[in-house]
Amino acid sequence: MHIYLDISDIFCLIDKQKLFKAPEKAGSVMEALQQRMAKYREAEEQAKQEGSSSKMKRMGRIVKVDNLFE
């Protein structure tokens, strides 16, 4: 007897939140935007540590735009 699983079947079994290190579901649009900005800041910091100047500049430009609204 053979059991065939589709990739979507397997993906349903994986805890996607842990796999992608995603935060809890946002309760509002503003909270979602804040979560996204936190990810960009984290990526910028990681790029600095890795010495990836191109990525650091890209993430820095996004973070700089957010700072205009604070």
pLDDT tens per residue, range 11-39 = 666 676 676 777 788 889 888 888 889 98
Domain that holds residue 48: 22-68
CB 59 within 8 A of CB 40: yes
* Single pTM value for the model: 0.65
Residue 13 lies inside a defined structural domain of this protein: no
CB 26 within 8 A of CB 39: no
Residue 39 lies inside a defined structural domain of this protein: yes
37-70 pLDDT per residue, tens: 998 999 999 999 999 999 999 998 988 877 666 6
Residue 11 lies inside a defined structural domain of this protein: no
**Cα(28)–Cα(64) distance, integer angstroms:** 23
Return the axis-axis angle of helices 29-50 and 53-68, rounded to nearest 10°.
150
Residue 15 lies inside a defined structural domain of this protein: no
| Number of structural domains found in the chain | 1
Burial class for 36, CB neighbours closer than 10 Å (0-12, 13-18, 19+):
middle
Residue 2 lies inside a defined structural domain of this protein: no
